[in-house]
Structure 1
Amino acid sequence: MFRHSIFFIFFVVLAGCAQIPEEKVDERDPLQSFNRPMYDFNMDVLDAYILRPAAVGYVAVTPMPVRRSIVNFTDNITAPTDMVNAGLQGKPGNMGISLARFLVNSTVGLLGLFDVASSLGLEIVDEDFGQTLGVWGVGDGAYLMIPGMGPSTARNLTGDVVDNVVLPEIALTTPQTVLVFVLKAVEARASLINQESLLNESLDPYIFVKDVYFQRQLYELHDGNPPIEKEPDDFDEDFLENL
């Protein structure tokens, strides 16, 4: 789902610039000569002058209960997209949970401002069209650093178009879609303020973000139970769950 794509969108713009030594070719990243400059642009320009100042101001003036309601509201709007994708992936249980969450939170939860469904045991299930394509056997494709958006892959970029343009336009007007995007973007960036040191202390922030991105996609594709690899992971499961 796009909310997690947004998370990584703004995760990519947090680290400081560094001179990067020559490295081995990463088969996942054939467009690195384009991606690295885009990473620097996202980081040095968009985050430094627009996104981070907006997030800091948002945190300063918005009480936590209000922020929580904004997150609940945007999550509720995307619940039908979760439901559709769960159905396309052959997950009737998750499809039913997303439908129930939407009905409960849209009524008792006052249009989703309050997450009543979670208190009833209906925890959010995140299903997006990029995951759907993965379940259908479509590979990641090339790693992409999108100007103004951040890390993605050819598959997930296609999924984002479906999740954030095609499906929302069925129920929302263009201004409403833009408003939801802005709310998600600012909140996602605000949630990363306390984690900036993770990137600032990494030897190569670009590679760090890319590796975490691919691990997160694998984690989501397998519903939190990725296949066990022979070599140990560089990042622990607690870190992935907190992203």
Structure 2
Amino acid sequence: MKKLSFLLLPLLLLALGGCASNPRTKADAEQVQQYTDPKDPFESVNRSMWDFNYDVLDAYILRPTAVVYADYMPQFARTGLLNMALNLEEPSNSVNNVLQGKMGDGFISLGRFLLNSTVGLLGTIDVATKIGLERKDEEFGEVLGKWGVATGPYLMIPALGPNDPRSGVGDYVDSAYGPLDSLNIYFSVLRFGIKALEARAALIQQEQQLDNSADPYGFVKNAYFQNLEFKVKDGQVEKTAEEEALDDDIDAYLEGL
């Protein structure tokens, strides 16, 4: 999800849905400690942040709020609010597509914004998709990846979840595109909250997989980097034997993002 991990709001925690915070056995813990991931040089700190995010913020704030939101908010209202939040990102999608040489997708994103903002009642109705103009999500972090910029170290940020320097810079740039740059704090928080709650509600179905993982922290980290690579390479990702073995579980997890 595009802008969910870039505002420090205690209420809104992305991509940490229902994950067990520690390895299940002492042997698992020892094995984790003996392994050094070059992408995760701050692992000890990151694991502490993971525990805080899961044991406190997700358990007591985000998950209960997402459950109430999903149970009591009418579906038509949820769909309309999410469509409106996503429509505000179409201009940035357009620019980021063009920066990657995807001129056709850039024009589609711009056309979607104009159509949904007018005929679609400020984006609440996704008219563009109904007539065959599918959404072409692209982030500036993906543009940087296309240009050869590495992700940098993995960062587990309090209240925000998984992140990396390239994505952080990319999302800062995305927020500078109009109309996102003109939103006041209240509309920005509302937009962020809608997307965060929808993302967390979708992850509820993936909780059991994470709970059954020997190392949920490592599982989500692998899923995070695979998702970044998948987006940068437009799905053309070469996987190692170990990654192939994890594909089924990780793909199921990513479907909830």
Residue equivalent to 2:153: 142
- Name the structure 2 match of 1:202: 213
User: Residue in 2 aligned with 1:235?
Assistant: 247
Instruction: Please show how residues 1-243 of structure 1 align to structure 2 within 5 Å.
Output: 2-3=2-3, 10-19=14-23, 20-21=29-30, 22-164=33-175, 166-167=176-177, 169-226=180-237, 228-231=238-241, 233=244, 234-236=246-248, 239=252, 240-241=254-255, 243=257
Say if 2:17 and 2:200, in contact at 8 Å, map to a contact too: no
CA contact (8 A) 2:205 2:256 kept: no
SS in 2 for 1:140: coil
TM-score, normalization by structure 2: 0.86
Return the offset for 1:184.
1.0
1:172-207 residue CA offsets vs partner (Å, 9 max, x unmatched): 223221221111111111111122112111110000
The Cα offsets for residues 79-115 of structure 1, whole Å up to 9 and x where unpaired, read as 1111121122221111111001101111111111111
Contact 2:116 2:124 in 1 (8 A): yes
Deviation at 1:33, TM superposition (A): 1.5
Contact 1:133–1:159 (Cα < 8 Å) also in 2: yes
Identity of aligned pairs, percent?
47
Letter in 2 for 1:16: A
Q: What is the one-letter code of the residue matched to 1:235?
A: D
Gaps of 5+ in 2: 7-12, 24-28
TM-score w.r.t. structure 1 length?
0.91
Following the alignment from structure 1 to structure 2, what is the Cα–Cα distance between the partners of residues 18 and 35? 12
Aligned pair count reads 239
Q: Match of 1:14, as an amino acid?
A: G
Structure 1: runs of 5+ lacking an equivalent? none
